[in-house]
Amino acid sequence: MRLVVSLITCVILLGACSFDSELRVPAEDSNPELPSASPTAVPPTALPQEIISAADAEHMLLSNIYERVSPSVVNIEAVVLAPDGKASDTRRGSGFIYDRDGHIITNAHLVSAVDAITVTLENAFVLPAEVLGLDSFSDLAVLKVQADPERLQPLRIGESATVKVGQRGIVIGNPFGLSSSMTTGIVSGLGRTLPSAELIDAGVAPGFDNPSIIQIDATINPGNSGGPLLDSQGLVIGITTAIRSDNGSFQGIGFAVPADTMRRVIPDLIKQGRVDYAWMGISVTREDGGFGVAGLSEALDLPVERGVLLRGVTAGSPAHRAGLRGGDTLVDVHGEAVCAGGDVIVAINDFHFDDLDSLVTYLVQQTRPGDEVELLVVRDRSTLEIPLTLESRAADSGNTLACNSAR
């Protein structure tokens, strides 16, 4: 307290507390004029309107998209009942209105093997729903509700083939039950694959990945599943389906099924409740870790750096009947055993592709069972054109003919 009083006294009595022995008040002026106070700071003027408008342009865009799209995004609650009739499991997610006939698009994993489904529209109008069709390979499902068409505002489906890494990605859904929430980010990767069917149904044939998955960094959490991924026009370019996480929370990597897969799958689900995919009957050397054709080209002295190297073909499959050949020799490449010597498919119907994902994407989105396609195949140092008639996917992968002499 004594220190505080001393400091206050020092402030008031400026002359008495001077620490500079040379500082003196002039004798001839016992009342010197004190220096004037600093003028009050003038606040800066507002920025010109054109700068403010430019800065707010993106927010205006997002607000407009939200206002246009959110009435079409629905909340979905799917319930699994116990034998006593009580709910044993309740799943909550999102979906969106596909047309005015009452078709709702969502994820298959959200509504697979459930007993009751309710759909809540943006205005809290609740409707019972039924599963019209479900496809575990694409993780897409179509629900059907009975509603006045005036209540249903469909979204427009865009094209995912033109999506580029770095472009804006907008997600609207119901994370943790918080309806009509928007998050934004960018498309951070393309050409990913997901084992969707194996995650949903352990009884399906393994080995058929969900191709051409869009990777995004927009925040998605439980409850976002089934909601739309939008571009800057408000068009649906994908449907959010999964996150990659070590602890169950969002860590910056989310995935969406592309719109072009939806274009192929949804009409079949509405018409017949299932999807019949085309099948060739080939197995390919895994492409992670640089084991695609580009990564193996030098080690195996391949004449091309694009396409897919056949590890094997399935006995009795379209590929087998067409005369395609799998590998016949195991070769050590960077410590990994690679089945070498097989055909390299570089194009299908004049569509040249780089890797397996591109081939599978073409088969899923552009072909149907019964279609005859023409393959461009490199065998040894020769180029062959081989016709092949596609069939429906087999119930199981069958016996694969690959490097049998080395096994």
Rounded Cα distance, 183 and 164, in Å: 19
Q: Which of 225, 283, 317, 358 is catalytic?
A: 225
Known catalytic residue at 320:
no
C-alpha to C-alpha distances, 6 to 3, 10, 19, 65, 357, nearest whole angstrom: 5, 6, 14, 65, 80
CA dihedral 44→45→50→54, nearest 10 degrees, is: 40
Residue 96 CA to residue 396 CA, distance in Å, equals 33
Burial class (CB in 10 A: 0-12, 13-18, 19+), 281: buried
From the candidates 109, 138, 343, 358, which is the catalytic residue? Answer: 109
Structure tokens at 292: 């695609």
Give strand pairing partners of 329: 340
Q: CB of 378 within 8 A of CB of 303? A: yes
| 328 given a catalytic annotation | no
Query: DSSP character for 157?
Result: B
Closest CA to 138 of 218, 258, 272, 288: 258
Catalytic hit among 72, 103, 139, 357: 139
For residues 188 and 307, what is the distance between their CA atoms, to the nearest angstrom? Answer: 24
Across-strand partners of 81?
87
56 part of the active site: no
Task: Write out the catalytic residue numbers.
Answer: 109, 139, 225
